Structure 1
């Protein structure tokens, strides 16, 4: 399976975690986030950047997950109301932190807060099977400028 990540070019040579605070992992956890499609990766980035668009400083990272890799899945119907609140990670972080700390699965498949029928993927870079996750391609990325214009006008 292929998943996708959009990041600054300076951070696209490998799958190094930022250890920043996120919806599914508290600050300090060595995780990397990716999306199930390039389109979802674009949406996740635009929302996180609050409408500030991309420039030629960004790349798309194509990541391969082998079929043998164990993945824990959480679906939207398993989550409490408000799990997708844009500012409150308190309903998701404990689940992600538990997944990370237990160390049973190298990958956590979670619903996107933007499009709950789509999925994001969280990688535990400290898991022994993380070495099976491969960065297979890095390409430049500048989306259509109309996307940023729409976000800024709304």
Structure 2
């Protein structure tokens, strides 16, 4: 399975989950390293865009392809079993992520995207026993239409 990580070129090579560890995210608390990725490049772009506050946040981007060889190693969070208000309850989603990130047998888990709930994002557990089997493939520069950028300050 190929996943896509979109980030500033200065941070695209973060394979230890340092950014997530320092700042936390929807599915991880601070001090829990992980790497976020998406099932499609377009979803990765939407996820990056929704967090951008300024045009500068969308410049100098690169895309990293990540391969998880055995899809059976991925735990799928069942959105039908999530609390009704999970989208607005980051403490709840971080609690779920904490349980999964503390399980060294979980190399990655998939979660519904808040932006496009029918699509999936992936949280890669850099502390998993089988993390070495995650393949970080090629890095490429990423460009998108300026019309998207023009909607930012």
Using structure 1 for the length normalisation, give the TM-score. 0.88
Residue 54, structure 1, aligned to residue 58, structure 2: yes
Note the C-alpha offset of 1:102: 2.5
Note the C-alpha offset of 1:125: 0.3
Aligned to 1:90, the other structure's residue is in SS state helix
Match of 1:63? 66
Contact preservation (8 Å) 2:105, 2:129: no
CA RMSD of aligned residues (A): 1.8
Match of 1:97? 98
Note the C-alpha offset of 1:71: 1.0
Match of 1:73? 76
Contact preservation (8 Å) 1:54, 1:142: no
CA distance in 1 between counterparts of 2:33 and 2:61 reads: 22
Unaligned runs of 5+ in 2: none
The answer to which structure has the higher helix fraction is 2
Match of 1:26? 29
Aligned to 2:87, the other structure's residue is in SS state coil
The superposition leaves residues 35-86 of structure 1 with CA deviations (integer Å, 9 ceiling, x where unpaired) of 000000000000011464522x21001111102651111132221122112x
Aligned to 1:113, the other structure's residue is in SS state coil
CA distance in 2 between counterparts of 1:50 and 1:4 reads: 22
Residue 110, structure 1, aligned to residue 111, structure 2: yes
Residue 8, structure 1, aligned to residue 8, structure 2: yes
- Hey, which bits of structure 1, 4+ residues long, moved more than 4 A? none
Contact preservation (8 Å) 1:69, 1:106: no
Match of 1:84? 87
Using structure 2 for the length normalisation, give the TM-score. 0.89
CA distance in 1 between counterparts of 2:146 and 2:138 reads: 24
Q: Give aligned pairs, total.
A: 149
Match of 2:120? 119
